[in-house]
Amino acid sequence: MRVLKIVEGTSVDGPGLRTSIYLAGCNHHCPGCHNPQSWHFDGGREMSQDELLLVVTENEAPVTLTGGDPLAQPRQVEGLVRRIKDELGLDVWCYTGYTWDEIVADEALRAAVAQVDVVVDGRFVLAERDTTLLFRGSRNQRLIDVAATLAAGEVKLFDPQNNNLFSAQ
């Protein structure tokens, strides 16, 4: 996988101190994107799943996949998430520019997030920008509890304040 950078012990990409893995490449090109240099698919450096697992294992911390858009590499993400869950049992968040509807409509994207705990969905929308939001940049983006959403067949949001679930409006 093409990895732009790995940030260890960050608290801005989900609850707790996490290992954030920035994957290269994004096709969404949102106006106002805070990180347009991440759009290039040949950015960063190639890292194997084993190398990434080693970093994650050493940190013993929950993991966030971000970028770029991790779901631009859905098969690789599916394999990495499966190993983090099955071998390490760690919480995994995934940021993506795809909406939940777009994810469930696409077999590869759906498989990529099946074992993710929380998906932060949707493109960054400059007109919806809100710096007071926790773990997301614009109001259209949602913190989606994947297991609850798949079980219910409708979007269930993750509430980071209370860790409670509540239905999407």
CB of 84 to ligand SF4, least distance (A): 21
Least distance in angstroms from the C-beta of 149 to ligand SF4? 20
Cβ 145 to ligand SF4, closest distance in Å? 21
The token duo for 30 is 């949102």
71 or 90: CB nearest ligand SF4: 71
Q: Please give the residue whose beta carbon sits closest to ligand SF4 in the complex.
A: 97
Annotate 46-112 with DSSP letters as a single string.
E--HHHHHHHHHHHTS-EEEEES-GGGSHHHHHHHHHHIIIII---EEEE-SS-HHHHHTSHHHHHH
Q: Is the dihedral of CA 69, 73, 74, 77 positive or negative?
A: negative
The answer to whether 23 touches 65, Cβ cutoff 8 Å, is yes
Residue 82 identity (one-letter amino acid): R
Q: Which is nearer to ligand SF4, 32 or 160 (CB)?
A: 32
Q: Closest CB to ligand SF4 among 33 and 111?
A: 33
**Residue placing its CB nearer to ligand SF4 in the complex, 43 or 67:** 67
Residues binding ligand SF4 (CB under 6 A): 26, 28-30, 33, 35, 38, 67-69, 97, 123-124
Nearest distance from residue 124's CB to ligand SF4, in Å?
A: 4
Smallest distance, ligand SF4 to C-beta of residue 58, A: 27
Cis preceding-peptide flag for 68 (omega within 30 of 0): yes
Distance CA 49, CA 67 (A): 17
Minimum CB distance to ligand SF4 smaller for 14 or for 90? 14
